[in-house]
Amino acid sequence: MIQASCSLLGYGIDDDDDRSWRMDDYAGAIARWCPGCGDHAILTAVERLLETEQLPPERTVFVSGIGCSSRFPHYLTTYGFHGIHGRALPIATGVKLRRPDLHVFVVMGDGDCCSIGAGHWIHAVRYNVNMVALMLDNGIYGLTKNQTSPTTPQHYASNTQPKGSFLMPLNPMSTTLGVSNASFVAQTADWIPAHLYATIHAAYQHRGFSFVRVLQRCPQYTSDIFEEAVRNPKMTEMLVHPDGVETPELDKIYTNKRVHDPRDLDTARHLAEPSDHVRLGIFYRNETKERYEELRAQRVHTAQERIARLNEEFDKYAV
Amino acid sequence: MSSSAPVATKKRNMSKQDGPVIIRRPEHTVEIVSDSGEGAQKCGQIFGMVSARMGNGVWTVELIPAEIQPPPRTPTGASGNRVRIGTKPVTNWGDAANLVVAFNEQVLLARHQLDALQDDAIILLENMWATHDDEDIRREWAAVMEELSTTNYRIIEVPMEEQSLTITDNPRKGKNMFVLGMLAWIYNRDVEIIRDMIRLQFRKKAKEVAEKNIELMDLGYRWAGEHLDFRVEVPIEHPGVPMVVMNGNQTLAMGAIASGMELCAMYPITPATSVSHYLGEIFEDFGGIVHQAEDEIAAAGVAIGSSYAGKVAFTVTSGPGLALKTEFIGLATMVEVPLVVLDVQRGGPSTGLPTKVEQADLLAAMYGQPGDAPKVILAPATIEECFHTVITARRIAEALRCVVIVLTDANLATGVQPFPRPNFDARWQAGPIDLSPVPEGVKPYDWDPDLGLSRRFIPGQPGGMHTLTGLSHDERSKVAYDPESHERGCAMRSRKIAVLQQTLKPPEIYGDPSGDLLVVAWGSTKGAIEEAVDRLRAEGHRVSSIHLRFLSPLEPGLKDIFSRFKKVITVEINYSDRLGEPHITPENRRYGQLAWLLRASTLVDVDCWTRVPGQPLRPKGIEEGIKSMLPGRQR
């Protein structure tokens, strides 16, 4: 499909590309996240994905917003666009709209996606442009040093709400599943590398907008919010299905499993509601949803074709 | 002719044996005003088009209420068109109308109160309201007639409704064609052209619709011939070159296509949206798309993303949208991704005057971003220039890796004017996306230290991998907080603008190269200002004008030109304090926006005459304004 749309757009794709890449080839600057930050594991999983899929670095673009997580592109050797707070998705949409041949990833934080960029998030789900969107959710604004985010647990203290956050947190999974045209919605955690990798791999393979919420530990400000889930595997409920994420190597640790067919949207919405469990896996997947960049694909016109057509257009206004 | 009713009566009894009086003029201005939805605009558009096609100079202005369906028969709901036609090219909407066709007395009153009519204007007024069943309406009619009785207008009552009813049972939808027919007779327009235009207009409807409209137009033509005692002749001088006639938003759209841009990301906002309406119809024929984003901010982001990944893209907006795009414009400036922003200005601040003209976004465009965000700002002065300016904007944006903001306004957006048909040049268009490898050693910001220019990197180019960042960065695009890198980045982004300035020519002077007073202006006011300057020069005043197209960087040689005049003023459609008003002193006075820039850049004591009437400036107003500021005059 990508090949087809690229030739349609006139961009040469080298079919006999005999280069090969190792994980190290994708590494960029040394990551400057805090020791123990969940982002390190996510970066490693992404590098592994790039190697597995052998994505040419020059045809891979990581777009991010602002925040700890948004430093992500700097730590890779692909094309990267470290943009402005909350607005990674419009940039990524623009990239993919005119260059469907590029592999586009978006990395954003909970403040980025669910607060300042919430409008873009809702509409990106609806556009269903083929890209992977990773929302690294540590429940806090870290880079600006400990302010309440939309996903901070209620009553949890921060510098802006020292007596504890006033409101119930926003539920990113329910919200995403509630948007019409949602096509891939999954949740994973930074502390389970096998599941993390399997989930973003499935996200990459999905054709459409793949939204992955990664529960991410912040050792500095919210070290305790996932502590219990990390310590006690029983608290985690793995959503499993032949069409979902299967991680047999984890079976002995994560014994709490639920079979969930990712085609079942009603159940997905039910499972996304708050519960005593941390549910991980693919909540929903539907490849039949229309992809905006395909709806809007145009063929390339030569300069001469355009001039001929412009002249026709001017004829309409000739006096 | 002091009161209306006797005139109308007299006319009905008038003998037609002598034939109509011919009013022969080098130019004439007609207004057609109605309630919204009665089709006065359509009538005005067709009248303007047929006049242009016959070889007259034409300028049309839409008179638009802010609402789609304002309450009927209210002065604020007046909707329609002013069409000024001339023997020579017409460059602005003129001063006041010579002839008005009004569908009710309330919309007529609105135009009267806005001083839009000549003292001796002829008015063709629908008379059904005089004898309406509703007593309130009859009373309103009488009150307006009373108010207008002290004027010198010649009011001719016309039974538009009664006549139209003989052909259609819904005159609200057909009266405008009756009026078009009357105007066709008065101005001796080619009825065959009009018939063709009506057919074109209704081509998507059933054939009978067009034929019924033509019947109504023919009826208006016959009625006028049988009942009116005057005709107007504006002699025709054919321009001798092929012409096209369009409005400024259409020429912006055409310019965007001719420049080779392929993505317009936008969010609906008056008066800019019609650019995307037009593109929505035809852009895909050229491989382009209009992306209607979820908001103004996203529209800028999508354009930047698309531009980053390939061909330069653009976004089109108006003042409030420009405000929302501010952060993204700063980002594009910082990361040096080319971006074209078309800002069709309207009255501000805030929601302001959505459908009305103002030139008040200049300083916001220039300085709207936090930090230093140098960019290029262009301002086309005519509808034709809108076309060429977008082409120039794309080339500059790409060559300089910078943001180019094009400032037009509601006057250019909806004004319609014939201009010589452009001969397309393939070089106007962007080339195909360059995906050739980045030569070894070339860095993402390999600034030429002299020029500030660097190679544009595009995803897909092997060997060019790097991460753009809105953080301060070095040549390798690595985040750099050290003093030297930040100073250098700022200098390089600014240097490009200076380099561009050195390629520009000083502005041409309209009038003598020296004199008593020089008017400096920008944007849509050019025609009206030059008309005012002509009149003043004819009276012996030593007045000249210059019109700037580049506002950032400013065109060269301004200080030198200014030094040859005793006084320099700007004329602009934006707010400035006036000396003599309470609390306004030379120390606290706030100037017009271009005046601020010129004062700062030249250290010349540039004064300003600015107004914010929510409508285009009239030559007469400008003439009086300039006169009041001539050196040696008391103000």
Residue B326 and residue B390 in one domain: yes
Secondary structure, 3-state, B28-87? EEEEEEECCCCCHHHHHHHHHHHHHHCCCEEEEEEECCCCCCCCCCCHHHCEEEEEEEEC
Residue B252 and residue B229 in one domain: no
Query: Helix, strand, or coil here: B533?
Result: helix
Q: At what angle do helices B207-227 and B175-186 cross, to 10 degrees?
A: 50
Determine the distance in angstroms separating the CA of A299 from the nearest CA of chain B, rounded to an integer. Answer: 6
Answer for the pair B356, B348: CB distance below 8 angstroms, yes or no.
Answer: no
A192 falls within a domain: yes
Contacts with A112 from chain B: Cβ below 8 Å:
none
B452 falls within a domain: no
B466 falls within a domain: no
Answer for the pair B628, B607: CB distance below 8 angstroms, yes or no.
Answer: no
A162 falls within a domain: yes
pLDDT digit string, tens, across residues B275-329: 999 999 999 999 999 999 999 999 999 999 999 999 999 999 999 999 999 999 9
Answer for the pair B290, B280: CB distance below 8 angstroms, yes or no.
Answer: yes
Cα–Cα distance between B6 and B93 in angstroms, integer? 32
Pick among B50, B241, B294 to test the A interface (most A CBs inside 10 A) = B294
> What CATH number does residue A43 fall under?
3.40.50.970
Check CB contact of A13 with chain B, cutoff 8 Å.
no
Contacts with B263 from chain A: Cβ below 8 Å:
94, 97-98
Instruction: Identify the domain boundary among B428, B456, B471.
Output: B428
Query: Is residue B114 left, alpha or beta, with left meaning phi > 0 and alpha meaning psi from -120 to 50?
Result: alpha
A309 falls within a domain: yes
Residue B192 and residue B43 in one domain: yes
Number of domains making up chain B: 3
Q: Which of A29, A62, A301 sits opposite B287 (nearest CB)?
A: A301
Instruction: Identify the domain boundary among B428, B457, B482.
Output: B428
Within 230-269 of B, beta carbons closer than 8 Å to A belong to 242-246, 250, 254, 257-258, 260, 262-263, 265
* pLDDT tens-place values along chain A, 319 residues long: 444 444 444 454 555 678 999 999 999 999 999 999 999 999 999 999 999 999 999 999 999 999 999 999 999 999 999 999 999 999 999 999 999 999 999 999 999 999 999 999 999 999 999 999 999 999 999 999 999 999 999 999 999 999 999 999 999 999 999 999 999 999 999 999 999 999 999 999 999 999 999 999 999 999 999 999 999 999 999 999 999 999 999 999 999 999 999 999 999 999 999 999 999 999 999 999 999 999 999 998 998 999 999 999 999 999 8
Check CB contact of B29 with chain A, cutoff 8 Å.
no
Is the four-CA dihedral B221, B227, B232, B236 of positive or negative sign?
Answer: positive
Residue B162 and residue B204 in one domain: yes
A147 falls within a domain: yes
Residue B373 and residue B319 in one domain: yes
Contacts with A10 from chain B: Cβ below 8 Å:
432
State residue A15's pLDDT score: 56
Determine the distance in angstroms separating the CA of A26 from the nearest CA of chain B, rounded to an integer. Answer: 10
Pick among B200, B291, B302, B315 to test the A interface (most A CBs inside 10 A) = B302
Determine the distance in angstroms separating the CA of B486 from the nearest CA of chain A, rounded to an integer. Answer: 17
pTM: 0.95
State residue A210's pLDDT score: 98
> For tokens 């500030």, what's the residue?
B452
A176 falls within a domain: yes
Cα–Cα distance between B605 and B88 in angstroms, integer? 37
The answer to whether the bond into B349 is cis (omega within 30° of 0) is yes
Instruction: Identify the domain boundary among B428, B451, B486.
Output: B428
> What CATH number does residue B610 fall under?
3.40.50.920
Angle in degrees, CA B104, B110, B111, rounded to 5: 95
Indicate yes or no: CB of A119 within 8 angstroms of CB of B295. Answer: yes
State residue A14's pLDDT score: 54
Q: At what angle do helices B175-186 and B191-201 cross, to 10 degrees?
A: 160
Residue B150 and residue B36 in one domain: yes
Tokens representing B612? 């914010």
Residue B57 and residue B92 in one domain: yes
Residue B596 and residue B553 in one domain: yes
Indicate yes or no: CB of B313 within 8 angstroms of CB of A98. Answer: yes
As a whole number of Å, the end-to-end CA separation of chain B is 38
Indicate yes or no: CB of A77 within 8 angstroms of CB of B302. Answer: no
> What CATH number does residue B17 fall under?
3.40.920.10
pLDDT digit string, tens, across residues B186-210: 999 999 999 999 999 899 999 999 9
Q: What are the residue ranges of helices labelled H in B231-368?
A: 248-258, 273-282, 296-308, 319-335, 362-367
Residue B308 and residue B424 in one domain: yes
Check CB contact of B60 with chain A, cutoff 8 Å.
no
Exposed/middle/buried for residue B125 (C-beta within 10 Å: 0-12, 13-18, 19+): buried
Residue B370 and residue B269 in one domain: yes
B590 falls within a domain: yes
Tokens representing B541? 């005043």
Query: Helix, strand, or coil here: B381?
Result: coil
> What CATH number does residue B398 fall under?
3.40.50.970
A112 falls within a domain: yes
Check CB contact of A97 with chain B, cutoff 8 Å.
yes
A3 falls within a domain: no
Indicate yes or no: CB of B49 within 8 angstroms of CB of A303. Answer: no
List the domain range (segments joined by +) for residue B299.
Answer: 245-428
Within 56-85 of A, beta carbons closer than 8 Å to B belong to 56-59, 61-63, 66, 73-74, 76-84
Answer for the pair A197, A280: CB distance below 8 angstroms, yes or no.
Answer: no
B455 falls within a domain: no
Check CB contact of B331 with chain A, cutoff 8 Å.
yes
Indicate yes or no: CB of A123 within 8 angstroms of CB of B245. Answer: no
Contacts of B166 (CB under 8 A, 6+ apart): B219
| pLDDT beneath 50: ranges in chain B | 1-15, 634-635
Indicate yes or no: CB of A92 within 8 angstroms of CB of B335. Answer: no
Residue B21 and residue B105 in one domain: yes
Answer for the pair B501, B556: CB distance below 8 angstroms, yes or no.
Answer: yes
Q: H or E segment at B290?
A: strand B289-292
If we measure between CA atoms, which residue out of B347, B348, B332, B452 comes closest to residue B397? B332
Q: At what angle do helices B296-308 and A118-127 cross, to 10 degrees?
A: 60
Tokens representing B500? 């561009």
Residue B38 and residue B72 in one domain: yes
In sequence order, what are the beta bridge partners of B572?
Answer: B610
State residue B9's pLDDT score: 39
A7 falls within a domain: no
Check CB contact of A10 with chain B, cutoff 8 Å.
yes
List the domain range (segments joined by +) for residue A259.
Answer: 19-316
